[in-house]
A and B are shown apart, each in its own frame.
Chain A
Amino acid sequence: MSKGRTVIPIGPYHPLQEEPEFFRLHVEGEKVVGLDIDLGYNHRGIEKLAENLTYDQVPFLVERICGICSTSHPFAGVQAIEDVGNFDIPERAKYIRTFIGELERLHSHLLWLGLAGHFMGYNTVWMWAWKYRESVLDLFELLTGNRNHYGMMKAGGVRRDFADEDIPRVVQVLDGLVRPVMMFRDVALADPVLQARTKHVGCLTKQDCIELGALGPTARASGYDIDVRRDHPYAAYDKVKFNVITTQTGDIFDKVVVRVLEMLESVSICKQCAQKLLEVKGPIDAEYKEIPAGEGIGTHEAPRGEVIHYTRSDGTNKPVRYKIRAPSYMNVATNMRAAVGYTISDATLTLAAIDPCYCCTERTLVVDAGTGKRIMTGKDLLKLSQEKTLKLLEKYPSRMDKIWI
């Protein structure tokens, strides 16, 4: 270790997040010069467990991989199982699946937006974003019976039908989300302090994205135009109209913009599906009884990027092998390039920008490498980030200084 270099451990546990991870920030003074990532604190052996469950039980298991994008894994999983036998599903089920997938993107992006606001010191953004997220969760409760872990996916279709009389309420809530999202968009685009904090910070080039396999908004913010919904259409994504949002710079600002604009697309997709559900009637389950021997791949564009599931079947009712790859598996690795070269106060934001939201400030300690003495706690690090915003507020004339802090 060179002279003057300090290691800042971030993690592994943080009460705000759903999965523990451990980052070691190597810093020289204020500047981050290296990053080491340690995984496995939440390794539960789900792939091994899936080999002991039937194809009807597997979607319930994989739904519990993540609490935020809980439908993404069963969505990809049931498609992998259907791909084994090249099964098709009823049209109504396709629209219901698409609707659930997009509604989840809405609540996930709102959650991320709130956390990003909190880490920057804009606690009003945090509270407001989560307030609007509540209405999305209420919709989930109305339609599926649960605010999270909806249990909607099954191989061959979906488990619950939507009632026609719920659709007007659904459309009303979705319409109500447009104004707040537009407000967030205007804040992001117009606020000079937010721009000063996020522009040209944590930049990821398109080449980095291709090499490290970045996915979802993380990739699209760098101009890497990939989206499973458009490139490998599934469910009803080839029947609805939507735009794939891309920006070019790859900094945190662009990642905010991509996610905010994607929310508007999700509202539009959900409304198209709701409209179609009034017209398209029929069964919601193809009721396949047996899965033949073979193998299948299923993908889904989760809020954070492509989820891919692979299953191998030997003709019995249990998979021989069940492979899962979540988007964060690829996205977390991009931090090794995105965080290096910037300051510590930016690192918390950069780690959060890919949306496993790994600021992990609560358990963070800055340890003096020479003496082993704790010189900075997680609270201090959060304060450092929020103080930087405050300093910028003095520097830039902003209409936000009264409202947002």
Chain B
Amino acid sequence: MEEAVIKGIKDRFGDAIIDVYEKSPRRTYVTVDPARLPDVAEYLYKDVGCRFSIATGMHMAHGIEILYHFPLDRANWFINLRVILDVDKPSIESIARRVPASEWIEREMHELLGIEFRGHPDMRHLLLTDDWPEDNWPLRRDWKDWRGGDNVKG
């Protein structure tokens, strides 16, 4: 099952699949070209029948990374799509219209990490207050509290 899915995405998306890392029999991490990510995600969700669990955004040394976690329940397997975006202007096409469950987490990553999701239907704040400044992203490593209080000690 797992091999068939990996082969399926390699056949369909070819060069867009940058790296496949089998961490353990139950966990596979696939690095994908950000430009093709929505297509790969849609394939996993609609054709393979994976569930969309959540996405994790993080600010790493090599850029802004997003992991989309897709569990395949019938195979007891997690396939995780990884994209790495430029830290200066992180931008990727939204998958919210193709995978509706991702709408909220994209809003959350937008406000906490400053990632632009192109084509998202509703880009309002989700967790932060409405008066939160536009260019202040709390989950970034270099975050400074705009209200002036002590930063969380790192």
Contacts and interface: CB of A to CB of B under 8 A. Distances in A.
Contacts of A312: 58
Task: Tell me if B's interface is mostly helix, strand, loop or mixed.
Answer: mixed
A299 B27 CA distance: 12
A262 interface: no
Task: Tell me if A's interface is mostly helix, strand, loop or mixed.
Answer: mixed
Contacts of A320: 58, 60
Contacts of B76: 231-233
Contacts of A333: 101, 103-104
A211 to B, nearest CB: 5
A52 B153 contact: yes
A297 B127 contact: no
A306 B101 contact: no
Interface residues of B, number: 35
Contact of B53 (A52, A210, A212, A325): A325
Interface in A186-229: 210-213, 226
B69 A308 contact: yes
Interface in A305-335: 306, 308, 310, 312, 320-321, 323, 325, 329-330, 333
B4 to A, nearest CB: 18
A86 B26 CA distance: 10
Interface of A: 39-40, 43, 45, 47-49, 51-52, 83, 86, 210-213, 226, 231-233, 294-297, 299, 306, 308, 310, 312, 320-321, 323, 325, 329-330, 333
29 contacts: A39-B127, A40-B126, A40-B128, A45-B152, A47-B139, A52-B152, A52-B154, A212-B101, A213-B51, A213-B53, A213-B100, A226-B73, A231-B74, A231-B76, A232-B73, A297-B78, A306-B53, A308-B69, A310-B69, A312-B58, A321-B58, A323-B54, A323-B56, A325-B54, A329-B54, A329-B104, A330-B101, A333-B103, A333-B104
Interface of B: 23-24, 26-27, 29, 51-54, 56, 58, 60, 67, 69, 71, 73-74, 76, 78, 80, 100-101, 103-105, 125-129, 138-139, 152-154
